[in-house]
Amino acid sequence: MSETILCIGTLDTKGYEVAYIKDLIEKRGHRVIVVDPGILGKPLFTPDTAREDVAKAANSSLDNVRKSSTAQEARTIMKEGLLKIVKQLYDEGKFSGVIAIGGSQGSDMGSAVMRELPVGFPTILISSNVAFIGGKSYVGSKDLTLMPSVVDIAGLNRITRQVFANAAGAIVGMVESGKVEVSDKPVVVMSMMGPTTSCGSKVKSELEDRGFEVIVFASIGPGGGALENFVKREDVKGVIELGVNEVGAAIYDTFASAGPHRLETAGERGIPRLVTPGCVDVVIFEKEPLPPEFKDHRVYKHIPEIQVVRQEPKNLKEIARTMAEKLNRATEKTKVLLPTRGFSELSREKKIFYDPEADKVFIDSLKSSLSESIQVKEVEAHINDDSFANEVLKEFLDMLE
């Protein structure tokens, strides 16, 4: 069955490359819609959606875009128009996958479009900047596929032809695979990170035995953002939070931040949620040296590129207040469960982050800041003890009933 693939590229600087990719896809029996968000030079060929139309969609004109004081300003206008055009095409069901190509500006515009599409929708970005900048800014909380071009995207040669052929084959394979069958089981969303996996695995297994589909998001930044997006758009029966370290990461602007709106969406939608302080005692850094305010904290090197740092009482007080502010906005369907013997595997007795006094500071600060209408329960257990997992399961099922 023939599918339609959207191809985004600036036809003044990447015209030959886009034409080559378009031809490869069409030879496999599929249609291509080309959108040109270029600004300055003359397009190599006529696209399906011209740059003038992109500028118009942003309530501007190509002449005005060209008069912008900076390249960033011009790109922002074209990005806005591109997003509107692609959203309309998607809502009308006009394409089944997206492939984009670019350097820094083209990658910025193409990835912005892809991040607005649902998780699972076929997307490929061919970029000469992936290896240099890194993929986090392009991917966000979505599953778009990044393909480094290895060499600069400046014409067709033995390397770029093969890279483009691989990308064309990949996007064709994605759209031909179609959508997978979706379960009709009620969905429970869960966050967790490595140090709370024992608890999460037990709770997940028990819920699945009871007929739920459990979707787990890793609380390492993109995971938390994806969780919030999923809860915002999907039919979710409940949320269990076993990885809230992203709240502290956002406060201190560290690796694994999911942005300022973590722990908010379920409350806004009135979805039942059970919140624990899972991994709130740690913050992750990917570079050395540590910032001055963390230089005296205990450190565990998880892998050479990742440092896990123990949160101290001062930090935990601030995190507790921030969490309480978020939870207090929606009090009706929120429960808080507090293990008194440690919030992560690293904080067990005799482990490197064991610090019951610091944990108590967090517990006391959170309890004093929460609304009286939020149910709070302390459990004499470590978060990864079976007894705590059983308590999570019991309290969560009670909420759903």
pLDDT tens for 44-60 read: 999 999 999 999 999 99
Q: How far is CA 146 from CA 2, 11, 45, 111, 127, in A?
A: 24, 21, 26, 9, 7
Q: Convert the pLDDT of each residue in 284-309 to its tens digit.
A: 988 778 888 888 899 998 887 788 99
Sign of CA pseudo-dihedral 333, 328, 279, 382: negative
Question: Do 17 and 99 fall within a single domain?
Answer: yes
Question: Do 280 and 392 fall within a single domain?
Answer: yes
In a domain, 46, yes or no: yes
Question: Do 213 and 153 fall within a single domain?
Answer: no
In a domain, 65, yes or no: yes
Question: Do 260 and 138 fall within a single domain?
Answer: no
**CATH number, residue 113:** 3.40.50.12020
Q: Convert the pLDDT of each residue in 150-200 to its tens digit.
A: 888 888 999 999 999 999 999 999 999 877 788 899 999 999 999 999 999
pLDDT > 60? residue 131 = no
- Structural domain count, the chain: 2
Question: Do 299 and 267 fall within a single domain?
Answer: yes
Domain boundary among 153, 177, 201: 177
In a domain, 182, yes or no: no
Question: Do 165 and 202 fall within a single domain?
Answer: no
Question: Do 297 and 394 fall within a single domain?
Answer: yes
Whole domain around residue 69: which residue ranges?
4-177
**CATH number, residue 316:** 3.40.50.12030
- Tokens of residue 163, six digits: 């890279």
Are the C-beta atoms of 229 and 262 separated by less than 8 Å? no
- Whether this prediction's pTM lies above 0.95 is answered by no
Per-residue pLDDT at 135: 65
Q: Convert the pLDDT of each residue in 259-281 to its tens digit.
A: 999 999 999 999 999 999 999 99
pLDDT > 90? residue 104 = no
Q: For 266-269, which contacts have Cβ atoms below 8 Å and span 24 or more sequence positions?
A: 266/231, 266/236, 266/239, 266/330, 267/326, 267/327, 267/329, 267/330, 267/333, 267/334, 268/329, 268/330, 269/231, 269/232
Per-residue pLDDT at 132: 58
Q: Convert the pLDDT of each residue in 17-37 to its tens digit.
A: 999 999 999 999 999 999 999
Question: Do 192 and 126 fall within a single domain?
Answer: no
Domain boundary among 146, 177, 208: 177
Q: Which residue has the higher pLDDT, 390 or 291?
A: 390
In a domain, 111, yes or no: yes
Question: Do 57 and 86 fall within a single domain?
Answer: yes
Mean pLDDT across 114-135: 83
